[in-house]
């Protein structure tokens, strides 16, 4: 952590000097800026099952987003974003009119329209925190602001760079406004920002891990809708890594959205087959009175699904045909497209099986023999099954498949037990499980993949605190530059 803070301070000093030379200084006010930090996450098990109520297991990674905020007298909210670390994002610098933001922040619908048409739409990930504070807590945009984002979480790698920025932004801005937000409430507000302001239909696991995770611990989340379970350390005999496939992942991409829609289509069909009361609520939407599964597909159970229900689901189904027969889905953030064809059976099966796999994975990791090779092999087998299930849904990619193959080729003799695609799939990062001393083998996988793909993959290793564990600090500026003063800011949220 100390090394990371020093790297952040150096980066911020360089950024400030560069912008000052251009006549666009940052943090020029007298009041010390407040600073929040939130990490990305490695999805170890669960992934896309989160929107169907699955249990997921997430690890906060070492890479994180820092967000500093300071009041100014300017008539705008300025957002500067510049990545640092091994794969830095480019410099972005936008000023948003305070008067326009006052209007845009009056509702999530208004904010979506404003940022959806704005040439710098990326600013929604940061300024969406202002929307949440206004809509949910009645806090007006406080006039001019400098908001500076410095993130070492690589973008497009499937490790939740967006959630890290959202969580750090809301944590810092809530502290500035004196608003009490517990870590769970903050995470769920950030999920609403991504769903309703950015327009990306993600589940809650990314924001929950970024906000509530603890360094070196796996965080189990029962996504019904967001029940945090006790975290636990990675067993001493095991290690977890992430390898970037260099295939860009986007949660808003068509593949992820189509698989999500298909799962909710499957839920509607199952409800109909079982006679659960279903009624239209809006065009393309239904409400289901579900006393059997509590409204969550993951609760159907593997045995019941395979014995009674799987065969009743079509492998593929057109959106128009589905809407004629069933009226709609319960998901509030996606829509069945009449012209699309959906892989209903595989997308429905995935969260049901993944819920069971994640539960077994958790119990094995917490067991008395968790660090041993026999348990490692079973854990790896569960990861392989999860990877195959992603592919069945249509969320695989050549790069992630090849990384999983390379892990299998080196295998247990080199201390590698298993691997799987993570998060939203269709590229992104592969999670790798091995013995705790298997780093050399992991680096060999990375090197072979780099030679074959002619890419420069990022290796994710290590962990770091979630936003709540880090707290809110102050930035002091002296002759030597910016320095983090890490006494947690005393606000009602602390």
Q: Which of 43, 50, 146, 206 is catalytic?
A: 206
| Average pLDDT over every residue of 462-481 | 93
Alpha helices in 243-371 (DSSP H): 254-273, 302-304, 319-326, 344-366
Pairing state between β 76-81 and 92-97 = antiparallel
Pairing state between β 416-421 and 328-329 = unpaired
Q: What is the pLDDT of residue 63?
A: 97
Residues listed for the chain:
494
Distance CA 143, CA 223 (A): 37
Residues 384-439: pLDDT tens digits?
999 999 999 999 999 999 999 999 999 999 999 999 999 888 889 999 999 999 99
Residues 208-228: pLDDT tens digits?
999 999 999 999 999 999 999
- Say if residue 249's pLDDT is above 90: no
- Say if residue 363's pLDDT is above 60: yes
| Average pLDDT over every residue of 285-304 | 98
At CA 417, angle to CA 52 and CA 395, rounded to 5? 35
- Say if residue 470's pLDDT is above 60: yes
| Average pLDDT over every residue of 141-167 | 95
Which residue do the tokens 């636990």 mark? 232
92: burial class by Cβ within 10 Å (0-12, 13-18, 19+)? middle
* Active-site residue, 206 included: yes
102: burial class by Cβ within 10 Å (0-12, 13-18, 19+)? middle
- Say if residue 491's pLDDT is above 70: no
Residues 75-91: pLDDT tens digits?
999 999 999 987 888 89
Q: Give pairs for 215-218: CB < 8 Å, separation 24+.
A: 215/60, 215/463, 215/464, 215/465, 215/466, 215/469, 216/463, 217/59, 217/463, 218/44, 218/57, 218/58, 218/59, 218/362, 218/365
466 close to 435: Cβ distance less than 8 angstroms: no
Residue 430's φ and ψ, nearest 5 degrees, are -105, 130
Packed helices 161-177 and 183-192: angle between N→C axes, nearest 10 degrees: 120
Query: Which of 38, 396, 90, 88 lies closest to 245 in space, CA to CA?
Result: 396
List of domains in the chain: 2-233+464-485 (3.30.230.10), 243-251+351-461 (3.30.70.890), 255-342 (no CATH)
Alpha helices in 138-225 (DSSP H): 161-177, 183-192, 205-212
- Most confident stretch, 25-34, 117-126, 154-163, 284-293: 284-293
Q: What is the pLDDT of residue 83?
A: 92
Residues 52-70: pLDDT tens digits?
999 999 999 999 999 999 9
Report the share of the chain in percent with pLDDT over 90.
Answer: 87
CA 89 to chain centre: 18
The percent of the chain in helix, strand and coil, each rounded to the nearest 5, is 45, 25, 30
Q: What is the pLDDT of residue 347?
A: 97
Query: Would you state the structure tokens that stand for residue 139, as one six-digit string?
Result: 């806090």
């Amino acid at each position: 952590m100390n090394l990371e803070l020093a790297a952040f301070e150096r980066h911020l000093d360089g950024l400030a000097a560069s912008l000052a030379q251009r006549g666009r200084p940052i943090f020029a006010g007298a009041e010390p800026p407040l600073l929040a930090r939130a990490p990305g996450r490695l999805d170890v098990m669960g992934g896309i099952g989160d929107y169907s109520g699955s249990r997921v297991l997430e690890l906060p990674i070492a890479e994180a987003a820092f967000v500093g905020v300071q009041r100014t007298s300017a008539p705008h909210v300025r957002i500067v974003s510049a990545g640092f670390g091994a794969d830095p994002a480019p410099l972005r610098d936008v000023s948003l009119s305070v008067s326009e933001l006052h209007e845009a922040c009056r509702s999530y619908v208004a904010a979506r329209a404003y940022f959806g048409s704005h040439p710098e739409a990326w600013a929604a990930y940061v300024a969406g925190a202002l929307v949440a504070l206004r809509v949910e807590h009645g806090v007006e945009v406080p006039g001019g602001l400098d908001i500076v984002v410095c993130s070492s979480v690589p973008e497009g790698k499937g490790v939740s760079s967006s959630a890290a920025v959202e969580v750090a932004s809301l944590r810092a801005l809530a502290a500035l406004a004196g608003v009490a937000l517990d870590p769970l409430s903050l995470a769920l507000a950030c999920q609403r920002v991504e769903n309703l302001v950015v327009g990306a239909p993600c589940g809650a696991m990314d924001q929950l891990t970024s906000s509530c995770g603890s360094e070196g611990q796996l965080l189990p989340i029962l996504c019904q809708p967001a029940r945090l379970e006790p975290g636990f350390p990675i067993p001493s005999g095991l290690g977890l890594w992430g390898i970037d496939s260099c295939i860009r992942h986007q949660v808003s991409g068509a593949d992820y959205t189509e698989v999500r829609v298909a799962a909710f289509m499957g839920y509607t069909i199952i409800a109909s087959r079982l006679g659960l009361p279903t009624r239209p609520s809006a065009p393309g939407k239904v409400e289901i009175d579900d006393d059997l599964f509590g409204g969550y597909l993951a609760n159907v159970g593997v045995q019941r699904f395979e014995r009674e229900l799987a065969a009743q689901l079509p492998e593929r189904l057109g959106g128009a045909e589905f809407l004629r027969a069933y009226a709609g889905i319960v998901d509030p953030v996606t829509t069945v497209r009449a012209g699309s064809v959906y892989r209903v059976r595989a997308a429905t099966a995935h969260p049901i099986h993944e819920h069971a796999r994640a539960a077994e994975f958790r119990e094995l990791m917490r067991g008395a023999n968790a660090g041993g090779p026999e348990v490692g092999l079973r854990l790896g087998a569960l990861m392989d099954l999860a990877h195959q299930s992603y592919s069945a849904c249509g969320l695989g990619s050549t790069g992630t498949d090849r990384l999983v193959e390379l892990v299998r080729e080196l295998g247990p003799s080199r201390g590698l037990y298993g691997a799987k695609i993570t998060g939203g799939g269709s590229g992104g990062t592969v999670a790798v499980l091995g013995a705790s001393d298997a780093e050399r083998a992991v680096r060999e996988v990375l090197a072979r993949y780099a030679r074959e793909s002619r890419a420069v993959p990022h290796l994710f290793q290590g962990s770091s605190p979630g936003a709540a564990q880090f707290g809110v600090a102050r930035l002091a500026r002296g002759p030597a530059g910016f320095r983090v003063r890490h006494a947690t800011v005393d606000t009602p949220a602390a």
